[in-house]
Amino acid sequence: MKKKVAFQKEIEFPTMIGEISAISLEHDLEFIDSSNVEGSLLLTGKYKLTEASRLEEDFSYKIPTEIALSEKIDLGTAKIEIVDFYYEIKNDDTMICNIELEVDGVEIIELEEKEEILEEVRSSTLEERECDGDSKNMKEMELPKIEKEEKDENIEVKREENKEVSKKEEIMDIKESEEKEEIMVKEEKESSLFINLKEEKETYGTFLVYIVRQNESINSIIEKYNTNIEEIEKYNNLNDLNIGTKLIIPILND
């Protein structure tokens, strides 16, 4: 199961923000139980008071975060990662952060309700058999008082009743078999999902904002940050690349 959680946070700086020269977002979020995640998002980077300034100031903000899931996740396979992050500056001193997390893990499927239904079916079948047995005993006690033709007639009726009971039992056996097959299919799907989770690749959790300078090209930037053109194009429009253009560069977590 994969579930995306998107939210927005506002960070107020102590001074005016002229330009963000570097930024990254990490987290220490963890599952405290099968449905709840708690921890913090750590926002760090550098900024300038004005775009013309050469001096850079460091910033670091810890953002407390709580997530309550409607589903229950197996803690043995559960994990949470940052899959998207971008920001904008508001009123010259406030950063609005847009964050998207992805919760991944094997969902716990409740089977108690199906087991209760199966138990009710078994109890119902047992009661029908007991009632049929009592009815048979009562008829056998009355047989000495009934004439031979009536006796033969009752025997024939009883045979039909036994056939009906046999049909009901066959139907119940088929239903139980189908329900067991459904549970086995679900368990196989859960097992398959568990294997796929182990093979899943790491995603990006850190992003740098880079400003294109004179005599730089997209190839020199790619070589500098050890990335490739496909990853850069996921987050940027490279059709209009000029001096001063801001590029978002994803950095792969170790």
Using one digit for the tens of pLDDT, what is the confidence trace for 84-133? 999 999 999 999 999 999 999 888 876 555 556 556 656 666 666 666 66
Say if CB 87 and CB 95 are below 8 A apart: yes
Q: What is the DSSP string of 94-156?
A: EEEEEEEEEEE-PBPPP-HHHHHHHHHHHHHHHHHHHHHHHHHHHHHHHGGGS-HHHHHHHHH
Between CA 208 and CA 22 the distance in angstroms is 5
7 forms beta bridges with 99
Residue 61 burial (10 A CB sphere; 0-12, 13-18, 19+) = middle
pLDDT at 100: 95
pLDDT means per 10 residues, the chain with 254 residues, are 91 92 94 92 93 89 92 89 94 94 84 57 63 60 58 70 71 70 54 39 68 90 89 88 88 62
Helix (H) / strand (E) element for 167: namely helix 148-199
